Structure 1
């Protein structure tokens, strides 16, 4: 990746070149309403430490807000028809979804009622979700210990694992092919005047004029916003993942099971399973902190997994890592669109674990906003920055 931009002036500068930044770049490059220059500035050209590289790469329909369901439905359609959607390039394979489904387990009446209400809404939107009684869960998945469970909500179509890394790669590659410029470096300063971003200064010392600036910096979103004198309630929160091998693997696919404790586990291979958890307490961390908490596994995660699935009393860790949520402390949902005062500073931040599955729709939406001034497909206005100013959270309850 080059380190020196070819131009001094860009219509759009995108800070962060992982899946969100590359989605915006590609959608802009495909828009007949946009003919300008695009620069993507990426601090880590290997992408080894970005959130995209540490994702568990899953997709679900099971949200409590209809707009989030529609966003996931668009992603499912987009990736299953990826070649056609990206111009018919024969190198591009349509992606598949390993639809083992999510299974939310409810252990109290309030959670059960919330799952029932959400599932009714999801079905109205065409999602293939179903409510299972405790006996029905036991019949379909007899390996669970369910003494404390009232019911579950399970998805049977377009819910599960997919290759998000491949989508990111094609967003980036096709954006470059369309003329988008990527450079390795960091934005170190953002200059505003008369409520507009006018230029950015890179770590090389080079200053570039800027028509629109897009903050796609993931867990570093707040640091980028502060360069422009702005703020956003997004911070890095650490999330842990373990890939384990079971001495006694299950005789059928394991849904992505969300235990009431928040620990979640899913099928990862014929005899391997992926387990995720958050720390408790769950503080903001340095964006460069990828240290594993081995005590969390030993004293918290493994006992929960072995209690819920007694057959998993013997697990061997084969891989583990820590990654970051770009965690929106207001409501754990995205912030999308312009700042309320600095009109050409755009956010695509704060996805709080939903980012990979929302990247196609969110990149498209922000490209529409930049080129036409309004959303042309999905109305994504509820994710706007105004709600941050007003302290008005989105009511999404299905947050993992």
Structure 2
């Protein structure tokens, strides 16, 4: 956290949100728009520059190709929200029109078992209204002749509301409009949380600057640091920081059409970036938990793994030049790679908004709406997020999302 610490204006708040990234800001915005809620909201963000936040390291893409109906519906709401951002945010003419650059996601299967997974997922996605289609290797080659499909059995792609969107603009406006509606943001850090004598309720938070702030409810929106926050109330959770490496490169021989966000069977993914440039990502074969401040680049992974895979899958990428590279963190849910959202079953005013495992940005509209609903009304009024509640963690009953990149 940088040295510029800000202190809150009040000594008590109805809701304290720990983490001001896209999840915390989505929650703050939706809370500020609930006409039945007029309480005070404080957002505590440890680094208001967001230099190392997952929000600023995202690929900023969305897809409907998930393996659970609820995740598909969450992304469908996100697509509608992004395309109608101004209307969703009250018709404010300052807000620019946004769209989705729908180049699609292309999942490639090099074995029959994964091909069967793609077929099952397509049926589920189609049943919910997604336009996913499966393609054999010959069909893929006809539509995208730049691919090497010699080892490919099947692919799946959806060209409707799947692709790039401007997540940073949505984040900026959520934060800005929430503050205009009265939500208070401060740069500080929560270092302790105090409960009542029975342990059933949070009473206050303590800031790095020393203030103890009373609160009615607390929302853990701490991204990869989620477990550090939950441990302050004596709760462990299966969320940990995992490194994800990204590169932007230019190609000596650019492709003659948009490149879908291609998920190679190796796990390396690459997509269109525009202007003859492309963005790709991956991680090391061993994928350990890392320190919260470990953003060191592993330069060998590009040379030894990523580039050879790219050049094999897309031979035109045999001559490319890296223009930029960075490391971000997934808030990785080791139980089932799905969100943990909603109230703790025993500490009833402590809420979760964690563990998105790489698909948080595209889920942020539905998650912010959902957490605001249950924090204010004690029930969900739109999508039922109950399957994502913490109970499944306590009971060790995973709801596994298989479509994780």
The TM-score bracket by the shorter chain reads over 0.9
Aligned length in residues:
400
The aligned runs of 1:124-139 (5 Å cut-off) are: 124-139=127-142
Q: CA deviation at 1:331?
A: 0.7
Q: 1:151 aligns with which of 146, 151, 154?
A: 154
Q: Which residue of 1 aligns with 2:22?
A: 19
The aligned runs of 1:177-192 (5 Å cut-off) are: 177-192=180-195
Local SS of the residue matching 1:241:
strand
* TM-score of the aligned structures, taking structure 1 as reference length: 0.99
Q: 1:173 aligns with which of 153, 172, 176?
A: 176
CA distance in 2, matches of 1:269, 1:220: 33
Give deviations 1:169-216, integer Å, cap 9, x for gaps: 011001000000001100011001121100000011000001000000
- Contact 2:247 2:280 (8 Å CA) reproduced: yes
Q: 2:346 aligns with which of 341, 344, 362?
A: 341
Q: Which residue of 1 aligns with 2:264?
A: 259
Q: 2:299 aligns with which of 291, 294, 297?
A: 294
Give deviations 1:216-247, integer Å, cap 9, x for gaps: 00010000111111111100000000000001
Query: What is the RMSD computed on CA atoms of the aligned residues?
Result: 0.9
- Contact 2:338 2:400 (8 Å CA) reproduced: no
- Contact 2:259 2:272 (8 Å CA) reproduced: yes
Q: CA deviation at 1:284?
A: 0.4
* TM-score of the aligned structures, taking structure 2 as reference length: 0.98
Q: Which residue of 1 aligns with 2:126?
A: 123
CA distance in 2, matches of 1:92, 1:279: 39
Q: Which residue of 1 aligns with 2:85?
A: 82
Q: CA deviation at 1:63?
A: 0.4
Q: Which residue of 2 aligns with 1:273?
A: 278
Q: Which residue of 2 aligns with 1:385?
A: 390
CA distance in 2, matches of 1:254, 1:350: 29
Query: Which 4+ stretches in 1 moved above 6 angstroms?
Result: none
Query: Are 2:264 and 1:238 equivalent residues in the alignment?
Result: no
Give deviations 1:102-141, integer Å, cap 9, x for gaps: 0000111111111011111111211111111110000000
Q: 2:65 aligns with which of 62, 66, 74?
A: 62
Q: CA deviation at 1:2?
A: 7.3
CA distance in 1, matches of 2:136, 2:152: 9
- Contact 2:272 2:278 (8 Å CA) reproduced: yes
Q: 1:215 aligns with which of 193, 201, 220?
A: 220
Q: Which residue of 1 aligns with 2:252?
A: 247
CA distance in 1, matches of 2:7, 2:189: 11
Q: Which residue of 2 aligns with 1:38?
A: 41
CA distance in 1, matches of 2:71, 2:280: 24
Q: Which runs of 5+ in 2 are unaligned?
A: none
Q: CA deviation at 1:389?
A: 0.5
Local SS of the residue matching 2:274:
coil
